[in-house]
Amino acid sequence: MAGDVEKRDTLLARLRAAHPERPARRLKDLVLHGLVKVDGVVETRPHAPAAENSTIEVARQPRKTEQPPLTIVYEDRDLVVIDKPANLLTTSARHEKDWTAYKILNRILGDKRPRAKALIVHRLDYATSGLLVFAKNHLIQEALKKQFEAQLAERGYVGVAKLSPLLQRDSGTLTHYLTEDKHLRVRAHRGKQPNSVVAVTRFFVERRNPARGIALVRFALETGKKNQIRVQMAAQGASIDGDRKYGQPPHVLPRLALHAGHLAFRHPRAGRSLRFDSPTPPEFLALFRV
């Protein structure tokens, strides 16, 4: 009996009762992607407790007629680089098929040339903002993917992290082995695990704000694994601010404080190096003004 009561008091159970018309898997995805709040706080655990008198909010998905929330940074006949805002999927998930960077970009390109198409090369997390490159044909797509897989592309991020002992150092390198569980949570381990992948991230502390207990940190990826920076920093007690999935409260910002600010790769057709930089979000910098 106690088990039944406990099951009824979970967030997923409350959502299923409130939205019987929506599949349970889709509701679970909404929670995992940070689109559900319990009493005003984002909750990413589907089976987290949710009392009967709790206020549960599901984030409104933008209307498809709203202004496209992305900026084209560079475009030629082979590829296009965009600056993606936070809280937008790169490509479709079970709960959202249409309002994604991929679909929005293809609508923009299609308005210019009916047969134009953007193809996925790499991804950013839903909550992470910043630079993404898309290919315009399959040959360029495969060539770019090979660069990313071989770690030849440069990817740099800037974030606000908790000021742990790790970030008293000005720089360092994090090496972990990552695994993913059935709930899509990635975990960092010091030693190799079954089915684990290695993740290597270099970090450089730019500014510190001891009063707020935070630091502005730049990251350079030597590998590009799912949730890599977020998981590795959380494992060191220096979680990214606003990370409701891997971090610990309190949070200073209402969004995930992680931005993909640097991207560089070799143009597959022209052979020249392309380098792009996106400004650090002003809300990050505002936290470090004297």
Active site residues: 125
Quickly list H helices, the chain: 2-8, 11-18, 24-32, 101-112, 138-149, 228-235, 282-285
Given CA atoms 138, 144, 150, 156 in this order, what sign does their dihedral have? negative
**What is the enclosing helix (H) or strand (E) of 178?**
strand 171-180
What's the rounded Cα separation, in Å, for the pair 91 and 134? 11
User: What residues does 161 pair with on adjacent strands?
Assistant: 215, 240
The label of the residue with tokens 């590009």 reads: 224
67 contacts: CB under 8 Å, gap ≥ 6: none
